[in-house]
Structure 1
Amino acid sequence: MAVTGTNFRLKAALRTLSKDDNKVARSMPKLQNQRGLAGILLALLLPAISDAQEEHHHHQPGEKIGKVTFVVSCSTEAQRQFNRAVAWLHSFEYGESERAFNDVATTDPQCAMAHWGAAMSLYHQLWAPPNPGELEKGARSVQKAKQIGAKTKRERDYIDAIALFFDDWERVDHPTRAARYEQAMEKVYVRYPGDRDAGVFYALALNATALATVPMDKTYAKQKKAAAILNRVLRLEPDHPGVTHYLIHSYDYPPVAHLALAAARRYARIAPSSAHALHMPSHIFTRLGLWDEDIATNIKSENAAKDYAQRNRLKGAWDDQLHAMDYLAYAYLQQARDREARAVLDELKAIRKTDPETFKCAYSFAAIPARWALERRVWSEAAELKVEPVDFPWPRFQWAEAITHFARAIGAARNGDANRARVEVEKLAEVQRQLVGAKDNYDWATQVEIQRRAAEAWLAKAEGKNPEALRLMRSASDLEDSTDKHPVTPGAVLPARELLGDMLLELGRPAEALKEYETSLQTSPNRFGGLYGAGRAAELSNDRKKARGFYLKLTAMCDKADGDRPELVHARKFLAGN
Structure 2
Amino acid sequence: MKLFSLCAALAVCLSSVAVAELPAPLVDNYYNIGKIHQQVSTDNREAQLWFDRGLAMCYGFNHEEAIRCFDKAVALDPQLAIAYAMKAYAMGPNFNNMEITRDTMLAADSVSKTSLEHLEQASPLERMVIEAIDKRSGESVPEDFDQRGPFNQAYADAMAKAYAEHGDSPFVAELYAESLMNLQPWKHWSVDGKPGEQTPTIVEVIERGLAAQPNHAGLCHMYVHVMEASPTPGKALPAANRLRTAVPGSGHLVHMPTHIDVLVGDYASVVKSNSEAIEVDKVFLDREGPLNFFSLYRLHNYHFLVYGAMFDGQSQQALAAARAINQQVPEEMLKEQVDFLDAFMPTTFHVMVRFGRWDDILNEPTPPEYLPMSRAVRLYARTLAYAATERVEQAEAEQQKFLEAVKLVPESSLLFQNTSLDILGIAEAMVAGEIAYRKGEYDQAFAHLREAVRRDDALNYDEPWGWMQPARHALGALLLEQGHYAESEAVYREDLARHPKNPWALHGLVESLVKQGKEREAAQYVDDLEASCQRADVTINRSCYCRLKVLDE
TM-score band (shorter)? 0.7 to 0.9
Q: 1:68-147 maps to which residues of 2 (within 5 A)?
A: 68-69=37-38, 71=40, 78-123=47-92, 125-130=94-99, 132=101, 135-147=102-114
Does 2:457 correspond to 1:481?
yes
Relative to structure 1, is the Cα distance of residues 161 and 492 closer, same or farther in structure 2, using a 3 angstrom cutoff? farther
Does 2:144 correspond to 1:177?
no
What's the CA shift for 1:260? 1.1
Alignment equivalent of 1:233, drawn from 209, 224, 227:
209
Structure number with the bigger relative contact order (C-alpha 8 A, sep ≥ 6) is 2
Alignment equivalent of 2:159, drawn from 188, 197, 200:
188
Alignment equivalent of 2:282, drawn from 306, 313, 316:
306
Distance 1:381 1:106 in 2: 55
- Kindly provide the amino acid, as one letter, of the partner of residue 356 in structure 2: R
Distance 1:257 1:506 in 2: 34
Q: Secondary structure at 1:269's aligned position in 2?
A: coil
Relative to structure 1, is the Cα distance of residues 377 and 106 closer, same or farther in structure 2, using a 3 angstrom cutoff? same
Q: 1:410-559 maps to which residues of 2 (within 5 A)?
A: 410-415=384-389, 416=392, 417-428=395-406, 431=409, 434-435=411-412, 442-444=417-419, 446-462=422-438, 464-487=440-463, 489=464, 492-559=467-534
Q: Secondary structure at 2:141's aligned position in 1?
A: coil
Distance 1:257 1:314 in 2: 33
Distance 2:172 2:112 in 1: 18
Q: Secondary structure at 2:244's aligned position in 1?
A: helix
Alignment equivalent of 2:141, drawn from 150, 155, 168:
168
Q: 1:7-26 maps to which residues of 2 (within 5 A)?
A: none
What's the CA shift for 1:267? 0.3
- Kindly provide the amino acid, as one letter, of the partner of residue 160 in structure 2: Y
Relative to structure 1, is the Cα distance of residues 122 and 379 closer, same or farther in structure 2, using a 3 angstrom cutoff? farther
What's the CA shift for 1:247? 0.9
Relative to structure 1, is the Cα distance of residues 274 and 212 closer, same or farther in structure 2, using a 3 angstrom cutoff? closer
- Kindly provide the amino acid, as one letter, of the partner of residue 481 in structure 1: D
What's the CA shift for 1:271? 0.9
What's the CA shift for 1:116? 3.5
Identical pairs, percent: 19
Structure 2 length-normalised TM: 0.77
Distance 1:255 1:511 in 2: 27
Q: Secondary structure at 1:513's aligned position in 2?
A: helix
Q: Secondary structure at 2:263's aligned position in 1?
A: helix
Relative to structure 1, is the Cα distance of residues 455 and 212 closer, same or farther in structure 2, using a 3 angstrom cutoff? farther
What's the CA shift for 1:313? 4.8
Which has the larger helix fraction? 1
Relative to structure 1, is the Cα distance of residues 226 and 383 closer, same or farther in structure 2, using a 3 angstrom cutoff? farther
Relative to structure 1, is the Cα distance of residues 310 and 502 closer, same or farther in structure 2, using a 3 angstrom cutoff? same
What's the CA shift for 1:235? 1.9
Relative to structure 1, is the Cα distance of residues 519 and 558 closer, same or farther in structure 2, using a 3 angstrom cutoff? same
- Kindly provide the amino acid, as one letter, of the partner of residue 500 in structure 2: P
Does 2:209 correspond to 1:260?
no
Distance 2:297 2:238 in 1: 23
2:20 alignment counterpart: none
1:6 alignment counterpart: none
Alignment equivalent of 1:324, drawn from 282, 298, 301:
301
Cα deviations across residues 5-64 of structure 1 (Å, max 9, x unaligned)?
Answer: xxxxxxxxxxxxxxxxxxxxxxxxxxxxxxxxxxxxxxxxxxxxxxxxxxxx99867823
Distance 2:46 2:528 in 1: 56
What's the CA shift for 1:503? 3.9
What's the CA shift for 1:546? 3.8
Q: Contact (CA 8 Å) 1:248, 1:260: kept in 2 or not?
A: yes
2:535 alignment counterpart: 560
Distance 2:142 2:258 in 1: 34
1:201 alignment counterpart: 175
Q: Secondary structure at 2:346's aligned position in 1?
A: helix
Q: Secondary structure at 1:69's aligned position in 2?
A: coil
Does 2:260 correspond to 1:284?
yes
- Kindly provide the amino acid, as one letter, of the partner of residue 200 in structure 1: E
Q: Secondary structure at 1:458's aligned position in 2?
A: helix
Distance 2:175 2:67 in 1: 17
Q: CA RMSD in A?
A: 4.0
Distance 1:254 1:149 in 2: 39
- Kindly provide the amino acid, as one letter, of the partner of residue 139 in structure 1: L
Relative to structure 1, is the Cα distance of residues 321 and 483 closer, same or farther in structure 2, using a 3 angstrom cutoff? closer
What's the CA shift for 1:493? 1.0
Relative to structure 1, is the Cα distance of residues 110 and 200 closer, same or farther in structure 2, using a 3 angstrom cutoff? same
What's the CA shift for 1:298? 1.7
Q: 1:30-49 maps to which residues of 2 (within 5 A)?
A: none
What's the CA shift for 1:173? 2.7
Distance 1:108 1:348 in 2: 41
Q: Contact (CA 8 Å) 2:214, 2:239: kept in 1 or not?
A: no
1:4 alignment counterpart: none
- Kindly provide the amino acid, as one letter, of the partner of residue 365 in structure 1: M
What's the CA shift for 1:261? 0.8
Does 2:340 correspond to 1:373?
no
Distance 1:471 1:277 in 2: 42
Distance 2:205 2:384 in 1: 43
Q: Contact (CA 8 Å) 2:137, 2:151: kept in 1 or not?
A: no
Q: Contact (CA 8 Å) 2:177, 2:205: kept in 1 or not?
A: yes
What's the CA shift for 1:227? 2.3
- Kindly provide the amino acid, as one letter, of the partner of residue 399 in structure 2: A
1:275 alignment counterpart: 251
Distance 1:560 1:290 in 2: 12
Q: Contact (CA 8 Å) 2:99, 2:145: kept in 1 or not?
A: no
Cα deviations across residues 119-149 of structure 1 (Å, max 9, x unaligned)?
Answer: 43344634344464xx523421222322553
Distance 2:441 2:485 in 1: 19
Distance 1:91 1:379 in 2: 39
Structure 1 length-normalised TM: 0.74
2:195 alignment counterpart: 220
2:12 alignment counterpart: none
